[in-house]
Structure 1
Amino acid sequence: MPRRLSGFISMMGRGHQAMLVLLSVFLFAVGILPLEVQRRIVNGATQGAALNTILVLVLAYLALVLSEGGIKLVLNVYRGWIGEVSIRWLRMAVIDTRERHPDDLTTLAEGVEMSIVLAEAEPVGGFVGTSISEPILQAGILLAVGSYMIYLQPLLALAVIAVFVPQSVLVPVLQGLINQRVKTKITVMRHLSEEMVDHTSPNSPKHQAARVQRLFSTNMSIYKLKYALNFLMNLMFQLGFAGIFALGGYYVITGKIEIGTVVAFIAGLNKVSDPWGALVDWYRDLKVTQVKYELIRDASTANASQANIQAN
């Protein structure tokens, strides 16, 4: 296995990753257009535009939404296929090692292998499909929508930008704490698998009960950190909406902007909330997957070395 997760992603297919990147770029380029069409529909309706003009804009909006959804469907299925190919490779790599040296592995090594094949391979392999295309897609949407907002009204765009500044500090700190707990969780699960295979320990039930309790405590601490971060992120987004309502309402009353611009900003903040959340989730997955991959790599290397030593 490659030493780093990035090497494993590259080994699973650079050409496929390049195609995913192209689809992602096309998707966020198309995704910005519905905001402008929405703004024109609202302004046209409030300023007495002809019905035919509004209907044409509505049809254009529907065509853009359908195009965006179709591209996203292809992208997601393609990602899923690459992820499943990677999961299959990881599982078969462990199984092949076992088949080559069926009599040389210890019962403890068998327990680790069981944990990797049944549980650990799936999240690591699944991440390969989204590893490169996901941050490009979500960052592209954020950049495109943010640039559009700045173009419409720079000062009002500050209310949106302010939403992300505290989050960019909180996310890495809390994710570091989560990573520590994920590593502990995987280690405890491997010990559970090892002792399920090895029945020679007289204190096995007592040890297993303690490990199950530790898993419970570790998972609960992960939940608390994860959902506390979600709470803070949602709160900051609501503060962003409040800023748009207050400042946008003032600008509309004083005649500095049209009502369609405020609608576009509200839709824009809604549109960037999902990619920002997806980008945060991707960052979480990246850090957790790096930990998991290193544990799988180290275990596979150790098992193969042990088998070779015993075979010689």
Structure 2
Amino acid sequence: MGRNRSQSEPQASHWRWRRSTSPNVENIGETPFGLFDFIIRASGWHQLGLALLSGLTFATAVVPLELQRRIINDTLRSHSARDIATLAGIYVAIALAGGVIKLIMNLYRSWVGESAVLHLRSSLLADLVELETEHQPMRDGIKVSLIMDEADPIGGFVGSCISEPLLQGGILVSVFGYLIHLQPLLASVTLLVFSPQLVFVPLMQQAINRRVSARIGALRQISIGIMGGYRHNSSPSLRESALVEIVFSLNMGVYKLKFSMNFLMNFMHQLGICAILTIGGYWVIHGKTEVGTIVAFLSGLNQINDPWGDLVNWFRDLQVTQTKYRRIVGAVLDLQAKGA
């Protein structure tokens, strides 16, 4: 049986969920109850290090945009090869520095994520391995699913849980701020094109979350059936075969929603490019802006599109990971209650 934990540790909302999940909620043992409790325990100060690397990365995001604008404008106006070469050299140096920082950050993230997987599996082993319950094949199936399969995606999310939104959000804010500085009206058009995503992305993500949760439950039932079948030297039952079909349908539902969301986001991006070229081209013809500004806007739109997509993916991963972790904790509490 795992060690007792104080009932005062979780937040109030977590406590209400714990009470509805199991009557013996204080005996969760080595496995932290909440996802962010687990993140703090598994990664601790490493999240601060990743946050600092994220800050250095997005700090270099705006500089290439300004250098592109100046190179284009100097090419059209001054025709100074020396000035263009100097700006190009600075551009290469900034790009190289940003790439090296991002490489270090990605490797650090991977190490933090794998360390979190190790921590979660060790916690689950400590809480579950010595439990002896009735219907042991069914319980063993759940244990196998928890320790071998469900720990990986949760641990992987730990590496990017703070650094990813900080990095991508920082890029969005800094690039949008630069575009507003260059041309406020054109920046407003760009923002308007992205605004519909604030509506359809959360709605579609909620639908994905429901399917992911149902998929986890179906996979656990398959594991239970397989363990029971092997113990009795029999083949998988019709029930397991039906569950496999259900998992297939749920996976396809997730893919349809995910790729439909990507399609809509890409379409919004192309509309943004069209708006910049149309409005910006009209202003260049009438001398209201420079060609370099339009080039900077097009490049900036690409730099906005990628971090926005990454933020959507992070939000998706957060929702899915919270769902998965709640199901893991619920399974641990259920096994402990039945093994008491």
- TM-score (structure 2 length as normaliser): 0.87
Q: Report percent identity of matched pairs.
A: 43
| Alignment correspondent of 1:260 | 292
Instruction: Say whether 1:235 aligns with 2:267.
Output: yes
Query: Which of residues 249, 266, 273 in structure 2 aligns to 1:217?
Result: 249
Q: How many residues align?
A: 308
Q: 1:103 to 1:187 in 2, by over 3 A?
A: closer
Query: Which of residues 177, 181, 187 in structure 2 aligns to 1:157?
Result: 187
Q: Offset of 1:296 from its aligned partner? A: 0.8
| Alignment correspondent of 1:7 | 37
| Structure 1 contact 98–105 (Cα < 8 Å) conserved | no
Amino acid in the other structure paired with 1:217:
S
- Which sections of structure 2, spanning at least 5 residues, go unmatched? 1-30
Instruction: Say whether 1:49 aligns with 2:79.
Output: yes
C-alpha distance after superposition, 1:73-92 (max 9, x if no partner):
01111111110011111112
Query: Which of residues 328, 332, 339 in structure 2 aligns to 1:296?
Result: 328
Query: Which of residues 217, 221, 230 in structure 2 aligns to 1:191?
Result: 221
Q: Which whole-Å CA distance do the structure 2 matches of 1:305 and 1:61 have between them?
A: 61
Q: Secondary structure at the match of 2:237?
A: helix
Q: Offset of 1:160 from its aligned partner? A: 1.2
C-alpha distance after superposition, 1:213-260 (max 9, x if no partner):
111111111111111111100001000000000000011011011100
Q: Which whole-Å CA distance do the structure 1 matches of 2:63 and 2:105 have between them?
A: 19
Instruction: Say whether 1:142 aligns with 2:172.
Output: yes
Q: Which whole-Å CA distance do the structure 1 matches of 2:55 and 2:204 have between them?
A: 30
Q: 1:103 to 1:229 in 2, by over 3 A?
A: closer
Q: Which whole-Å CA distance do the structure 2 matches of 1:115 and 1:204 have between them?
A: 17
Q: Map 1:95-134 onto structure 2 (within 5 A).
A: 95-101=125-131, 106-134=136-164
Q: Which whole-Å CA distance do the structure 1 matches of 2:135 and 2:101 have between them?
A: 47
Q: Which whole-Å CA distance do the structure 1 matches of 2:136 and 2:95 have between them?
A: 56
Q: Offset of 1:95 from its aligned partner? A: 2.2
- Which sections of structure 1, spanning at least 5 residues, go unmatched? none
Amino acid in the other structure paired with 2:49:
M
C-alpha distance after superposition, 1:159-189 (max 9, x if no partner):
2101221001111100000100000000000
Query: Which of residues 191, 199, 207 in structure 2 aligns to 1:169?
Result: 199
Q: Secondary structure at the match of 1:100?
A: coil
| Structure 2 contact 225–237 (Cα < 8 Å) conserved | no
| Structure 1 contact 105–306 (Cα < 8 Å) conserved | no
C-alpha distance after superposition, 1:36-71 (max 9, x if no partner):
111110111111331111001001000000001001
| Alignment correspondent of 1:284 | 316
Query: Which of residues 275, 279, 297 in structure 2 aligns to 1:247?
Result: 279
Q: Which whole-Å CA distance do the structure 2 matches of 1:301 and 1:82 have between them?
A: 26
| Alignment correspondent of 2:109 | 79
Q: 1:105 to 1:206 in 2, by over 3 A?
A: closer
Amino acid in the other structure paired with 2:251:
N
Q: Offset of 1:104 from its aligned partner? A: 7.1
Q: 110-119 or 210-219: which moved more?
A: 110-119
Q: 192-201 or 146-155: which moved more?
A: 192-201
Q: Which whole-Å CA distance do the structure 2 matches of 1:189 and 1:143 have between them?
A: 41
- TM-score (structure 1 length as normaliser): 0.95
Amino acid in the other structure paired with 2:299:
A
Q: 124-133 or 204-213: which moved more?
A: 204-213
Q: Which whole-Å CA distance do the structure 2 matches of 1:194 and 1:98 have between them?
A: 15
| Alignment correspondent of 2:57 | 27
| Structure 1 contact 105–303 (Cα < 8 Å) conserved | no
Q: Which whole-Å CA distance do the structure 2 matches of 1:67 and 1:151 have between them?
A: 25
Q: Offset of 1:266 from its aligned partner? A: 0.2
| Alignment correspondent of 1:65 | 95
The ranges of structure 1 where at least 4 consecutive aligned residues each deviate by more than 4 angstroms after the TM superposition are 102-105, 200-204
Q: Offset of 1:117 from its aligned partner? A: 1.9
Q: Offset of 1:193 from its aligned partner? A: 0.2
Amino acid in the other structure paired with 2:241:
A
RMSD over equivalenced CA pairs, Å: 1.6
Q: Offset of 1:204 from its aligned partner? A: 4.3
Q: 6-15 or 261-270: which moved more?
A: 6-15
Q: Which whole-Å CA distance do the structure 1 matches of 2:135 and 2:127 have between them?
A: 10
Instruction: Say whether 1:37 aligns with 2:67.
Output: yes
Q: Which whole-Å CA distance do the structure 2 matches of 1:105 and 1:211 have between them?
A: 20
